[in-house]
Amino acid sequence: MSVRGTEKAPSAGSSTGKEPSQKDPIKGTSFSTAIVSGIVAVVDGVIIASVGIVVYFGYVGWSPDSFSLYLMATTVNLIVTVLAFHFADLYRFEMITQPFNQIYKVVSICLLTFLLLLTMAFAVKVSGQFSRVWSFSSFFIETGLICGARIAFYFVILNWAKSGLLSRNVALVGGGEQGEKFIERVLTVDDPWLNIVGIFDDRLDRLPSEIGNYRMIGDLDELVTYAREQRLDDIVIALPWAASDRLKIIIEKLKVLPVNIRLSPDLIGMEYPILGYENIGSVQTLNIFAKPISNWDLVFKNIMDKVLIGAGVFFVAPLMLIVALAIKLDSRGPVLFRQKRYGMNNEEFDVFKYRTMYHVRPPETGVPQATRGDPRVTKLGNFLRRTSLDELPQLFNVLNGSMSLVGPRPHAVEHNKLYDEIISGYSARHRVKPGITGWAQVNGLRGETDTPDKMEARVKHDVYYIENWSVMLDFKILSKTALVLFGQESAY
């Protein structure tokens, strides 16, 4: 990332107190990212108001009796929607720059607002005075336009940033290891609007003249002067938290400036994502890991499991009976096979599968995985494994709550213990219910895991699913599962 707009500054060895010799060329020619949220809110408001009024004049037609009623409904819709967007963080710059991640929220809030207004109109007995065409057309058109505007605005932001019209100017305090780590992490994402103007530190005689191509501009007094003459949005203090006395002195000196003062995570904090703050009693704590798929998300996922499985069992029941009969005719032994697996929070449960191996065979040590051409597998079993039809009885595991439709695939207890010892973070798979299918499986990671590398790749996909769960991701996995069930050679 290049440094834009950094003025000629004193070198690390120059005397302190010297003012920068040139003005920052960004000042007066670019605006802050903080202004973007206001622009987006205004655009949302204009879209909602325009759609309501245009559809009214275009379809209902103006009359003195109806205009005030439709104008009031449009105004209420505008206020409720914009406020809901605000409380859902849809006007945060970080969210605005991820348009495809916020579409789901935009559509959900517009739908809930629409239903709320319908309920209000029904409650006050004015619903009959509104045109159904106006109501539904306004909802669909404004929702589509807002989504389209969010996507278009993202590309406008990129253009502004690349042309130098938009920037978030950040000064870094701390030229030591923590400052170096901060810059290293910042550079992992190339945000064109981010402009680190330089580094400031009182230890100029002990620090290098630059870190990661960012220059050491001066000490804290020069930072105060700089911030009063140039436009700064943020000052990030990247110093060890253990140096609390020094941090207090720095914060006291900088708090007089009209900028955001931020504290960089400590070195250990940079190893884990910080997910915000939470009060426990009167103490504010940093959130490092959030309980995955919890609260209403968990309720919705459980309902989705039960509804889809209920419908699935009804439709596949004839197929399940045919498979059961075929197994019975193919070889001696039970139709179903049970095996202990680890589920959510490492709790053991019995997983159900169709039997695919010969029932009577020599004693085995442990639970050896099936391999290509495995003599233990029956001819019918080969087909069932290749097509994943042997997993169908796990529908009953979903019904009894031990599994979910989508989640990390459960492994045999012996395999679990083995991989937990050799793969870091393996047990993180057990933070949610295991699934019949998962993100790893639809990305080609099915079948035998005969090397640690294969299992590690599967674990990475499972952790990605847990940390990025959404309803849409579940549906995406289910739809892709239907495409990969047949003919995948790695399943045997």
Distance of alpha carbon 320 from the chain centroid: 37
Whether 207 shows a pLDDT value over 80: the answer reads no
CA 392/CA 337 separation, integer angstroms: 12
The 10 Å CB-count burial string (b at 16+, else e) for 148-169 is ebbeebbeebeebbeebebbbb
Q: Are 403 and 351 in contact (CB under 8 A)?
A: yes
CA 310/CA 314 separation, integer angstroms: 6
Mean pLDDT of the chain: 82
Write the Ramachandran bin of 190: left for phi over 0, alpha for psi from -120 to 50, otherwise beta: beta
Distance of alpha carbon 82 from the chain centroid: 23
pLDDT score recorded for residue 11: 37
pLDDT tens-place string over residues 320-340:
999 999 998 988 889 998 888
> What's the N-to-C CA distance of the chain in angstroms?
48
Q: How confident is the model at residue 178 (pLDDT cuts 50, 70, 90)?
A: confident
pLDDT score recorded for residue 396: 92
CATH homologous superfamily for the domain 165-286: NAD(P)-binding Rossmann-like Domain (3.40.50.720)
Task: From residue 191, give the alpha-carbon distance in Å to each of 42, 48, 51, 176, 274.
Answer: 24, 30, 34, 24, 19
pLDDT tens-place string over residues 37-51:
899 999 999 999 999
Write the Ramachandran bin of 178: left for phi over 0, alpha for psi from -120 to 50, otherwise beta: alpha
Beta bridge partners of 406: 437
Helices (H), 9-98: 34-55, 64-87, 93-96
pLDDT score recorded for residue 367: 56
CA 430/CA 407 separation, integer angstroms: 10
pLDDT score recorded for residue 75: 93
pLDDT score recorded for residue 406: 95
pLDDT score recorded for residue 452: 75
The least confident of 83-87, 88-92, 100-104, 443-447 is 443-447
Tokens of 217: 């501009």
Whether 18 shows a pLDDT value over 50: the answer reads no
Tokens of 155: 């590309």
CA 65/CA 67 separation, integer angstroms: 6
Whether 366 shows a pLDDT value over 60: the answer reads no
pLDDT score recorded for residue 29: 52
Work out the average pLDDT over 340-363: 85
Say what the pTM is.
Answer: 0.58
Q: Give 340's DSSP letter.
A: E
Residues of the chain with CATH 3.40.50.720: 165-286
CA 416/CA 114 separation, integer angstroms: 49
Work out the average pLDDT over 245-273: 84
Cα Dmax for the chain:
92
Strands, E, within 307-377: which ranges?
A: 336-342, 348-354
CA 355/CA 454 separation, integer angstroms: 25
pLDDT tens-place string over residues 448-480:
666 778 888 898 999 999 988 988 899 899 988
Whether 32 shows a pLDDT value over 60: the answer reads yes
Distance of alpha carbon 46 from the chain centroid: 29
Work out the average pLDDT over 60-67: 83
Q: Are 49 and 74 in contact (CB under 8 A)?
A: yes
Q: Are 412 and 350 in contact (CB under 8 A)?
A: no
Work out the average pLDDT over 7-35: 45
Length of the chain: 492
Tokens of 149: 């505007």
pLDDT score recorded for residue 152: 93
pLDDT score recorded for residue 408: 93
